[in-house]
Structure 1
Amino acid sequence: MTRIEERTMAGDNRTSASGTGSAWRWLMWGGAAALLALPALAMRFTTEVDWGPEDFTVFGIMLLVACSACELAVRLIAGRAGRLVAIAAIGLAFLLVWAELAVGIFH
């Protein structure tokens, strides 16, 4: 019997191989939602932040892609070290795209 079958029979329906599926997923997606809400909150208190609908759309798509890629990496990569490397690479790519869109660091 596999670990997933054992957990399912015990009433635990988490599907990640590490056994901590639910907690990290809530933290990741909740953090993404908080990051998306942060500029909207900041715009209520300062004129320094001036985002339009297109900014929120692009940032939301970036967060969706990054979080989905992290979920995929955790599901497909067996070792903890490999998962951490993949998540770090996804995070770095996210930050580079964000910085390029914000200030054009590669021009």
Structure 2
Amino acid sequence: MNRFDDAQEKTSLARGLARVLLGTGAILMVPAVAMRFTREVNWSPFDFVVAGILLAGIGSLYVLLTRKLRTVQQRRAIGGGLLLTLLLVWAELAVGLFGSPIAGS
């Protein structure tokens, strides 16, 4: 691998991580805006921090794990596993699906 390939790979990684951060911010804007219009959504700053860490962490992990994969099937498998992990952790934090000590209830 030459210097050009290294620079190109770092740029690609930086772009992927920047997309993850922008996407995380966009997703977190939904409850932030909803809180302005309804009392049904009532997130604390801690809720935003936890959700941001969870979304950015899973997204960053996807970018890092799939950068070397060439096939769409492999990327979909990694993405599906990470999405399932995200949904299970989110559900546990929200309603205590499994009754673990980190449950929100």
Common fold: TM-score over 0.5: yes
RMSD: 2.5
Other-structure match for 1:57: 49
Other-structure match for 2:25: 33
Other-structure match for 1:103: 95
Percent of matched pairs sharing the same residue: 38
Residue 70 (structure 1) aligned to one of 25, 47, 62: 62
Tell me the CA shift for residue 76 of structure 1: 3.1
Other-structure match for 2:9: 15
* Counterpart check, 1:81 vs 2:58: no
Alpha-carbon separation, structure 2, partners of 1:106 and 1:25: 31
Tell me the CA shift for residue 14 of structure 1: 4.9
Contiguous gaps of at least 5 residues in structure 2? 100-105
Tell me the CA shift for residue 79 of structure 1: 2.2
Kept in 2: contact 1:73–1:87 (CA 8 A): no
The TM-score normalised by the length of structure 1 is 0.72
Kept in 2: contact 1:77–1:83 (CA 8 A): yes
The TM-score normalised by the length of structure 2 is 0.73
Tell me the CA shift for residue 101 of structure 1: 0.4
For these two proteins, the number of residue pairs brought into alignment is 95
Tell me the CA shift for residue 29 of structure 1: 3.9
Tell me the CA shift for residue 88 of structure 1: 1.0
